[in-house]
């Protein structure tokens, strides 16, 4: 969430920054915001004047009573002022609620270094690692290869519908090995603390990281409401779409001490996404699923350290792909392709021979103070001043897409898959997955 004082001080600059995001519709109704602000100021000024008048009248009433004079007219005026103040307070509460609702719908402002553009075509490639493999046989995609390794899309669809996958045998073992490898790498070499978080969270938790209210249609909602028994309704709850939500909110409404920053957290969790805004995309295989696993990285830093942390986190995700011997590229997302809460984002795109294309496998973002302001997550600096922290998140990486990339990049002509050296300890020393 943006600082409302920023809008009050320099509304034109905020609007100009929001226009960099190239949205067809304005994110902010400027006329409505200005009207609400004008009314807010008018009510606050009137309330101050009314209170000053009430104070003066109270003194006059005391003096009149001391002299034995009739104070009924003064008392009536005080009563009228009280009613006016109550009405003003009620209207002010309505205005503040509408302003808050407006703020919750405004995305973060893009960092100055973010390339301008309307969509992914304006993304800028930063670097590449590795070269796509030259096969001496026609490479197959993971759907064709996976059938022999235990990827069962038919059973997944039977159990849960489209975009769910059932895994057995070699595929299930590989999936588990990948998650364990990533957690060990991030905790042992990158300094993250491993966490295990709830998979169901309350509405305000999703508001804290920015999934609500804007992206409610992309979440799985689990709250069922009152059962008619007269019992109090349960809180509105959702399945997490990423453990970023629970990891980042672990510092909500807290004041961290200087020695606690930077905070680095990682977790392996399932992620649940209805993908309401992605209908018809990537329906084949495991690229876009309603349920998938991910190893997430979150950092909580001071404002001064957050962009250094962003580069560091991109490197941590890259280390996963390098150890798995997977060619990839890093791209800086344009203003029109960035997420709602991000000020700057790097995507890591892994090469998939089955598609003949680079596809996203990790997204690393600096949200600056956008989430922290929603969560009221703060830290005390060395001088003792309490300031909002900066929060960053990144996939380290998506387990299902890593499985797809390993199968496709390390496939062999007979349908077997060579196991990258980094994964062999997690598979009992196995060097090849056989169909």
Q: List pLDDT tens digits, range 222-256.
A: 865 555 565 666 678 999 999 999 999 999 999 99
pLDDT of residue 324: 98
Sequence-distant (6+) residues with CB within 8 A of 32 are 102
Catalytic residue among 163, 373, 378, 401: 401
Does residue 262 have a cis bond before it (omega within 30 degrees)? yes
Whole-angstrom Cα Rg for the chain = 28
Mean pLDDT of 307-314: 98
Strands 166-167 and 151-152: antiparallel
Mean pLDDT of 78-86: 93
Q: List pLDDT tens digits, range 367-389.
A: 999 999 999 999 999 899 999 99
Sequence-distant (6+) residues with CB within 8 A of 325 are 130, 409, 410, 420, 421, 422
Mean pLDDT of 161-169: 96
Q: Name the one residue in this structure whose structure tokens are 């689990």.
A: 222
Catalytic residue among 37, 39, 77, 360: 360
Catalytic residue among 54, 173, 203, 273: 273
pLDDT higher than threshold 90 for residue 8: yes
pLDDT band with cut points at 50, 70 and 90 for residue 288: very high
Closest CA to 396 of 130, 178, 180, 182: 182
Closest CA to 391 of 249, 214, 259, 255: 249
Question: Is 254 assigned a catalytic role?
Answer: no
Closest CA to 213 of 84, 101, 336: 101
pLDDT of residue 228: 59
Is the pTM for the entire model greater than 0.75? yes
pLDDT of residue 42: 97
Catalytic residue among 133, 254, 288, 380: 288
Catalytic residue among 363, 365, 395, 416: 363
Question: Is 360 assigned a catalytic role?
Answer: yes
The Cα angle at residue 53 between residues 49 and 59, in degrees rounded to 5: 150
Q: List pLDDT tens digits, range 254-273.
A: 999 989 999 999 999 999 99
Packed helices 30-67 and 72-104: angle between N→C axes, nearest 10 degrees: 160
Collapsing DSSP to helix, strand or coil, 343 comes out as: coil
Question: Is 288 assigned a catalytic role?
Answer: yes
Question: Is 363 assigned a catalytic role?
Answer: yes
What distance in Å separates the CA atoms of residue 146 and residue 148, rounded to the nearest whole number?
5
pLDDT band with cut points at 50, 70 and 90 for residue 275: confident
Phi, psi for residue 296 in degrees, rounded to 5: -105, 145
Question: Is 273 assigned a catalytic role?
Answer: yes
């Amino acid at each position: 969430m943006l600082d409302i004082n920023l809008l009050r001080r320099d509304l034109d600059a905020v609007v100009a920054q929001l226009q960099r995001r190239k949205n067809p519709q304005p994110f902010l109704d400027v006329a409505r915001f200005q009207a609400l602000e004008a009314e807010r100021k008018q009510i606050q000024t009137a309330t101050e004047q009314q209170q000053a008048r009430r104070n003066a009248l109270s003194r006059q009433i005391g003096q009149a009573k001391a002299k034995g004079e009739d104070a009924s007219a003064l008392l009536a005026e005080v009563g009228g002022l009280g009613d006016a103040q109550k009405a003003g307070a009620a209207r002010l509460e309505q205005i503040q609620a509408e302003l808050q609702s407006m703020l919750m719908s405004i995305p973060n402002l893009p960092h100055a270094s973010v390339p301008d553009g309307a969509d992914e075509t304006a993304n800028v490639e930063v670097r590449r690692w590795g070269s796509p493999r030259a096969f001496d046989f026609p490479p197959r995609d993971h759907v064709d290869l996976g059938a022999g390794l235990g990827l069962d899309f038919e059973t997944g669809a039977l159990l849960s519908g489209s975009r769910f996958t059932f895994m057995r045998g070699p595929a299930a073992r590989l999936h588990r090995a990948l998650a364990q490898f990533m957690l060990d790498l991030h905790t042992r070499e990158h300094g993250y603390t491993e966490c295990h978080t709830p998979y169901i969270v309350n509405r305000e938790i999703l508001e804290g990281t920015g999934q609500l209210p804007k992206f409610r249609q992309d979440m799985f909602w689990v709250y069922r409401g009152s059962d008619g028994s007269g019992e109090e309704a349960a809180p509105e709850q959702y399945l997490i779409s990423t453990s970023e939500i629970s990891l980042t909110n672990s510092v909500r409404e807290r004041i961290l001490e200087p020695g606690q920053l930077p905070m680095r957290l990682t977790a392996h969790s399932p992620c649940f996404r209805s993908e309401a805004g992605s209908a018809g995309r990537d329906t084949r295989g495991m690229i876009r699923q309603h349920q998938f696993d991910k190893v997430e990285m979150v950092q909580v830093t001071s404002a001064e350290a957050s962009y250094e942390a962003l580069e560091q986190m991109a490197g941590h995700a890259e280390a996963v792909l390098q150890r798995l011997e997977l060619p990839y590229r890093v791209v800086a997302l344009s203003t029109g392709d960035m997420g709602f809460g991000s000020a700057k984002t790097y995507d890591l795109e892994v090469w998939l021979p089955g598609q003949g294309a680079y596809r996203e496998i990790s997204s690393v973002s600096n949200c600056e103070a956008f989430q922290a302001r929603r969560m009221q997550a703060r830290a005390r600096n060395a001088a003792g001043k309490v300031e909002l922290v900066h929060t960053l998140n990144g996939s380290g990486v998506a387990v299902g897409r890593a499985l797809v990339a390993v199968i496709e990049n390390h496939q062999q002509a007979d349908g077997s898959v060579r196991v990258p050296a980094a994964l062999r300890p997690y598979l009992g020393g196995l060097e090849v997955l056989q169909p």
